[in-house]
A and B are shown apart, each in its own frame.
Chain A
Amino acid sequence: MLGKLIKHEFKGSGRTMVPFILMCLGLSVLAGLSIRGMENLQDYGWFTVLFGIVIFLFVVGLMAVCIMALVVCIERFRKNLLGDEGYLMFTLPVSVDEHIFAKLIVSSVWFVVTWLVCMLAFVLMLLCNVDMIEVNWSEIGYVLNEVWGRLVDFGLLHIIAYILELLVLIFAACCVTCMQFYSAMAIGYSFSNHKLLLSVVFFFVINVALSILQPLLLSITGNAGVIDFMIESVENMSAPVTVHMILLGTFLYMLILFVILYFPTRLLLKHKLNLP
């Protein structure tokens, strides 16, 4: 059932996200061509103004797609689970965990896609702007060869593992961010009145609580001798393994935050659901 929920969640959120992503990519091509056009223009005329507007729209488009990913993450949870649609969703033969995970996975995928789209948009803009004949391909080839050599020296397996670990970390960070919004809304919407306002208040309360928790966790683990043990262990490790351990430690920290936010949200949606 989780797969089906994810499928329908992509349909529901894709209606908003896909047009924004396509608009962003289209604007990046237009912006690249505009920059190229401006460089070739001899005098400043209406074309310069037009090109300037296109470049401005490209920047706005990039910001819009990032903001939309956040809006979709919040609104899909709020409307689909806590609004009138909640009557349909919570009477499906599906567990609360599946509902939360479907929303989390799809929102996190959109965050990662948005990030990739922003990078792709910049690349597209540069490709449209750069005169391909003028590019010194042999020099680029030399640099790439040099980079490849360094990577092989460092350990190719480590590099591949770093990339995968980083992707997992980015995904985990997205999940934790989503859970901060979800938990705030789950608390806010369990009240009878001022649900939205209370959700905003609880979002800030949760953020403050987490920022207090961070040094607290460090001091607890420090007192328990965990940090000393970790430093000693790291000193005996090779540099590539140390990086793995740091990434693993960050992931564990994210996991703790996730668990802290997940279980109250689950409990509220299961037992304190207060649909309109």
Chain B
Amino acid sequence: MTATFECKGLSKNFGSTQALEDVNISIAPGRVVGLLGPNGSGKTTLIKLANGLLTPSEGEVLICGDHPGVESKAVVSYLPDKTCMPLWMNALQLMDFFQDFYQDFDRQRAENMLQRLGLDDRQRLRQMSKGTREKVQLIMVMSRKAKLYLLDEPIGGVDPATRDYILDTIIRNYDPEAAVVISTHLISDVEKILDEVLFINRGRIMLQASVDDIRQQYGKSVDEYFREVFKC
């Protein structure tokens, strides 16, 4: 079976700084994977490379067997770690925008989620709080029936109650045949929805294992094990 997301000998340098070094990973369809690492470990760089926003210095990234490009972008749903939607738009305009460019965008699903969260679809993003913008952005991203969801810090800027709603949204809305990669350092919050984890530090993958294996092998939760591995 073709992996949904694969990196082979992937390295990325920014001048003399090595952001990623010889990364080899393979994520199968249907898996929810936590990309976990301290700040500056290379999580965002890896996600940007998968989206074609950066070009590898060495090695390759494959999305469903293709290099990042127009074809791969049609099947990847990406949530960046900042507000990237035009602030002059409201949710209705955003839905029009997504519907125009993504064939897999489910407008009904987006409208239901907006309604459930009590968000005004005519309010401009500029007038919303940071947390509300993040919710709208996540709703747009999760309303696609993509093959790979790349979520960069999806719960970073929201309150604990909304975190639960967001994680619930991710789990309820993704296709069981799709893979989800969640980059975060808020491990205890996301742990309950993860199948696998990838520990990354200083641009190198330190561990790729299933959550169950970690619990069995080390007798610890992923959060506890992470704290032990990355102890300062």
Which positions in A face B, CB cutoff 8 Å?
1, 4, 7-8, 11-12, 15, 80, 84-88, 90-95, 192, 270-273, 275
Do A88 and B84 have beta carbons less than 8 Å apart? Answer: yes
A-B contact pairs, 21 of them (CB 8 A): A8-B97, A12-B86, A12-B88, A15-B88, A84-B82, A85-B85, A86-B84, A87-B53, A87-B80, A87-B84, A88-B86, A90-B51, A91-B76, A91-B78, A92-B73, A93-B73, A93-B101, A94-B101, A95-B70, A273-B54, A275-B48
Per the bound structure, the CA–CA distance linking A272 and B14 in Å amounts to 11
Which positions in B face A, CB cutoff 8 Å?
14, 48, 51-55, 70-71, 73-74, 76, 78, 80, 82-86, 88, 93, 97, 100-102
Do A92 and B101 have beta carbons less than 8 Å apart? Answer: yes
Q: How far is the CB of A46 from chain B (nearest CB, A)?
A: 40
For B100, the chain A residues whose CB sits under 8 A away are: 4, 7-8
Report the number of A-B residue pairs with Cβ-Cβ less than 8 Å: 56
Do B84 and A84 have beta carbons less than 8 Å apart? Answer: yes
Q: How far is the CB of A65 from chain B (nearest CB, A)?
A: 20
With CB as the reference atom, state the residue of chain A lying closest to B71.
A93
Per the bound structure, the CA–CA distance linking A15 and B89 in Å amounts to 11
Q: A87-B84, A271-B55 are in contact. Are A4 and B70 (CB under 8 A)?
A: no
Per the bound structure, the CA–CA distance linking A7 and B53 in Å amounts to 24
Per the bound structure, the CA–CA distance linking A11 and B29 in Å amounts to 38
For A85, the chain B residues whose CB sits under 8 A away are: 84-86
Do B76 and A94 have beta carbons less than 8 Å apart? Answer: no
Per the bound structure, the CA–CA distance linking A88 and B102 in Å amounts to 12
With CB as the reference atom, state the residue of chain A lying closest to B15.
A192
Per the bound structure, the CA–CA distance linking A84 and B82 in Å amounts to 7
Per the bound structure, the CA–CA distance linking A93 and B48 in Å amounts to 15
For B86, the chain A residues whose CB sits under 8 A away are: 12, 80, 85, 88
Give the contacting residue for A4; candidates B53, B76, B83, B101; CB below 8 A. Answer: B101
Most chain B beta-carbon neighbours within 10 Å: one of A92, A95, A273: A92
Do B53 and A93 have beta carbons less than 8 Å apart? Answer: no
For B52, the chain A residues whose CB sits under 8 A away are: 90-91
Do A1 and B84 have beta carbons less than 8 Å apart? Answer: no
For B88, the chain A residues whose CB sits under 8 A away are: 12, 15
For B70, the chain A residues whose CB sits under 8 A away are: 93-95
With CB as the reference atom, state the residue of chain B lying closest to A88.
B84
Per the bound structure, the CA–CA distance linking A93 and B71 in Å amounts to 7
Do B101 and A1 have beta carbons less than 8 Å apart? Answer: yes
With CB as the reference atom, state the residue of chain B lying closest to A276.
B82
Per the bound structure, the CA–CA distance linking A12 and B88 in Å amounts to 8
Per the bound structure, the CA–CA distance linking A88 and B48 in Å amounts to 12
Per the bound structure, the CA–CA distance linking A94 and B100 in Å amounts to 12
Q: How far is the CB of A193 from chain B (nearest CB, A)?
A: 12
For B83, the chain A residues whose CB sits under 8 A away are: 84
Do B51 and A91 have beta carbons less than 8 Å apart? Answer: yes
Per the bound structure, the CA–CA distance linking A148 and B88 in Å amounts to 50
For A270, the chain B residues whose CB sits under 8 A away are: 55
For B51, the chain A residues whose CB sits under 8 A away are: 90-91
Do A90 and B53 have beta carbons less than 8 Å apart? Answer: yes
Per the bound structure, the CA–CA distance linking A88 and B73 in Å amounts to 11
Per the bound structure, the CA–CA distance linking A15 and B88 in Å amounts to 9
Q: How far is the CB of B207 from chain A (nearest CB, A)?
A: 28
For B85, the chain A residues whose CB sits under 8 A away are: 85, 88
Do A93 and B97 have beta carbons less than 8 Å apart? Answer: no
With CB as the reference atom, state the residue of chain A lying closest to B14.
A192
Most chain A beta-carbon neighbours within 10 Å: one of B73, B86, B88: B86
For B82, the chain A residues whose CB sits under 8 A away are: 84, 87
With CB as the reference atom, state the residue of chain A lying closest to B100.
A4
Per the bound structure, the CA–CA distance linking A80 and B14 in Å amounts to 24
Per the bound structure, the CA–CA distance linking A12 and B51 in Å amounts to 24
For A12, the chain B residues whose CB sits under 8 A away are: 86, 88
